[in-house]
Chain A
Amino acid sequence: MTTFFDVVAAICMITGSLLALVAAIGQVRMPDLLSRTHPATKPQVLGLGLVLLGVALRLREPEAFGLLALVIIFQLVTSPVASHMIGRAAVRTDNRGEERLVVDELSEDRPQGRADEGDVPDQR
């Protein structure tokens, strides 16, 4: 049974590492800023989750589980905020890669790339 868990742990860690590698390759291959944000922020979340799962299966210590769970929870909470801030900055500085957009409904609504003009200004 121990060997079985070790094998599963190894598979999880290798798959997770490969996903992180894909994220890095994406930084080189993707054509514009917004396209690059996708491989940078998301396959890597699943990759980190798999690596942590592998670590948990290998350690098999309950004390470590809580800490590993915290790592992935904070990743899940912060990663969308990070990608949103980059995306928002990209759109507002006119780096949205227009020539590659088949649909651009933000420009239809707000040509300057700002969606929140006239929005409720409180609680920000």
Chain B
Amino acid sequence: MSDRQSPSGRRRRVRSVWPSMVPLAVVWCLLWGEFSLFNILAGALVGAVVVIAFPMPPLHLHLRPRPVALAVLVGKFVVDVVVSSVRVAWTTLRPGASSLTNAIVRVELATPSDFVLTVVAQMTSLIPGSIVVDVHRARHTLYLHVLDVNSAEEADEFRKRVLEQEERVVAAIGGYAHDIDERSDRPVREGGTKR
């Protein structure tokens, strides 16, 4: 990156320390069990050392969190996790596990954003019955191994559920193509309704 040498680049880098440092300080306090002044300062110090010693590639996020859509996303996610856990538990326990059939399904996401891709992959992975086996970043495509799929129709149904999940993610946090043109604030695809 060329902006590492320029003063503005360095300032941006220093400013980018904060968003990672504050959560690390909070984690430090939680681990010690109290929010004393000493813990907060020590946590900030450890956080700063971690962020500076292990720098991450910069993320250019343009998030617009929407409380209602976020609540819908989280609520639906919890329901999905519980329902799917029971399903996977039943798949595990029912007789005839050797006749089980699975599928590897390709899902092409509509949003050209690394962040949305990551969130969707993470959430889909947490819902039992599906794991991400491969990702094509340039085509923002996920390949998911799905447990207990009996036909191509069921595979299509699963694909539709992942795309609905993506729509909920975009509606909740916004899906800008920050990694394609970080300076443009033009949304590539509006998710949800404008408020």
| Residues of A participating in the B interface, judged by any CB pair closer than 8 Å | 19, 22, 25-26, 29-31, 34-35, 37-39, 41-43, 45-47, 63-64, 66-67, 69-70, 76-77, 79-80, 83-84, 86-88, 90-91, 96-97, 100-110, 113-116, 118-120, 123
Closest to B57 in A: A123
Once A103-B149, A116-B136, A123-B57 are accepted as A-B contacts, the answer to whether A38 and B100 lie under 8 Å apart by CB is: no
Q: Once the chains are docked, how many angstroms separate the CA of A106 from the CA of B133? A: 9
Chain A: interface secondary structure? helix
Pick from B33, B98, B133, B147 the residue with the most CB of A within 10 Å.
B133
A102, B103: Cβ atoms closer than 8 Å: yes
B88 in the interface, Cβ–Cβ < 8 Å? Answer: yes
Q: How many residues of B contact A (CB 8 A)?
A: 50
Once A43-B128, A102-B152, A115-B143 are accepted as A-B contacts, the answer to whether A69 and B30 lie under 8 Å apart by CB is: yes
Closest to B27 in A: A70
A115, B135: Cβ atoms closer than 8 Å: yes
B98, A42: Cβ atoms closer than 8 Å: no
Query: When the two chains form the complex, which single residue of B30, B105, B132, B136 contacts A70, counting CB atoms closer than 8 Å?
Result: B30
Residues of chain A within 8 A of B37, CB atoms compared: none
Q: Once the chains are docked, how many angstroms separate the CA of A105 from the CA of B146? A: 12
Over the window 64-105 of chain B, the binary record of Cβ atoms lying under 8 Å from chain A Cβ atoms (1 yes, 0 no) is 000000000000000001101100110111000110111111
B193 in the interface, Cβ–Cβ < 8 Å? Answer: no
Chain B: interface secondary structure? mixed
Residues of chain A within 8 A of B31, CB atoms compared: 67, 70
B132, A84: Cβ atoms closer than 8 Å: yes
Closest to B132 in A: A84
Pick from A45, A69, A108 the residue with the most CB of B within 10 Å.
A45
What's the minimum C-beta distance from A8 to chain B, rounded to whole angstroms? 16
Residues of chain B within 8 A of A79, CB atoms compared: 125-126
Residues of chain A within 8 A of B91, CB atoms compared: 38-39
B145 in the interface, Cβ–Cβ < 8 Å? Answer: yes
Residues of chain A within 8 A of B121, CB atoms compared: 80, 84
A102, B149: Cβ atoms closer than 8 Å: yes
CB pairs A–B below 8 angstroms (10 shown) = A19-B85, A34-B145, A35-B102, A64-B33, A66-B33, A67-B31, A101-B101, A101-B104, A103-B105, A114-B134
Residues of chain A within 8 A of B57, CB atoms compared: 123
Pick from B93, B101, B145, B151 the residue with the most CB of A within 10 Å.
B145
B150 in the interface, Cβ–Cβ < 8 Å? Answer: yes
B129, A83: Cβ atoms closer than 8 Å: no
Pick from B31, B105, B132, B147 the residue with the most CB of A within 10 Å.
B147
